[in-house]
Structure 1
């Protein structure tokens, strides 16, 4: 058992004791429950309120004590807790008014009923009504002019609308509560509207069964007059609805027959294997991992189709058809390409700039293409049957003919040779 106390002398459980200028009130609540599956645990809650009152200066000191002890059995309740649906339950509490309160009310117990709806495991909305039997604190005259003496009965009604936010969603749940409160009293000492404080608090909820739980919280009440009241609440709530379906029981594992003895396997010669399936065994395959469907040669390497090309471009002086020595190296490279790929042929195309007549330029471009063709034949031994020379005159310029630089680029002979050949993939070994 755990019991906390402040500004109180020795307090005996579940007894009221009065002496001197001190008044002590103690409430003990014992709850014992048995779960749906038969597991048993005890819940022992002690709520202690102590009030010390000095008559000389009317100075008050308050202490609110809440102790909780849980004695659990050796097993845990396994039933699933209902987490959504409507709920209802009775509640009691104690309300401590601000020491300077204008309600002219003594601190008092209250009792009532709360009902709400649990929308999700962590969010609920709740409506509550409480009746508070207090006493008039100081002799005054109420709003109707009737004198009221200190100590006479003062009835207070309390209505609350609260939002409850659970930090967890299991058997033991701390929670935050934020809500709106309306207090009305008879007789009325205030000459304005009834109190409408906002309440904020922290509490703890413990499930006794899947549908039944006990809940306790401490709250502060803050109104528009700058007053701060405090209170504690204790309630027992029943949640309607069905608990979530328990998880299906695991199916029993099938009994496996004893394993059969593994057959004796003769070792396989790796050279008889063909991992990539190209028809060449692993020992002779120089290119492993050949894609299926590829053409291969005897070493297991693919036969690849590779495009080959070369381009020749020679520039000429104005009104000239003489091949300059600086272009002989380029012409030689074309000749070597054609010797390497004997199936290739090419057209040698000659061009001029735009100066001069079209007929003259066509003849000049023909002489230029003939000069390059003859160089390939005479100097580098390319067969004339593989070469065709054509003059296109000033057509198809590649630059403007306004500037000298542009005209220089248009006075040209070009040849493009393309072919496709088959090559064997290089070995990866």
Structure 2
């Protein structure tokens, strides 16, 4: 009996001491009571068996247990004191966090049978299936059924155990979440980090491009966040609010065109045409009137038709060569009715053979 007490004390002290160094696994103290059925060759009755085990669970699946079993078996020749020692390997089918944790055991051990008439010792192997039921993080119920094989005499014993277990030490925990990526500075809070923000002072909430600069969808030079007219045509002149400037006066531009006498064919360049085209593109809703004029040579009716053909020629050049929309350009021939110089001189008549662009439209946008 003294030997048993020493062994129990040793097992408990080893378990407690070793647990202090366990970083990831978990320790269980497994006391249990069971009924052991002995092989008929032993001539022993079934006996109540007390078990004390110290189990170390390495992870969710694998564990090792050191067990001590003690029983007093009645026999034909008197009582026999049976002491058994086992080192078992356990495999769990469920993780530590599961409520029900079935397991399987394979182990080897040593048995000492101490009777009144004779003593014997033998090497044993055992296999078991069992289940653990977690009551909480520390306490659980455990039961198992074992087959025990005595290798010396080819005996088979069986054992049914139930017990309660106490667990302590670390429990396997999920891997820690990765550290969040460092947050890059974004002083103006536009979603573009400072290191690649070409416009670091955009107002909060202003829509920006990939470089952190305020968007200008209609490309009028006024950023979207303060553009009150966000759909102005490209190239249109706008005010500080992004709206097209209003024309406040009629504009007339003279186009210097050389026409041969009695001809509507444009020869050479048209002076000031670039200025007219630029203005028309800056104000795309302003119509233009192309007026044709002649000197007083010939009949008034002839001059009327000639001036119309001259105006049409310039109109076609604006449309075909400069891309001005046709519905914006009107051509009117005034004949000899609007001279700007005397028709009594060669120079005066040449001056009167002219074409003018009149932008006579007041707009407010």
In the superposition, the TM-score normalised over structure 2's length comes to: 0.39
Q: Which has the higher helix share?
A: 2
Q: Which has the higher strand share?
A: 1
In the superposition, the TM-score normalised over structure 1's length comes to: 0.34
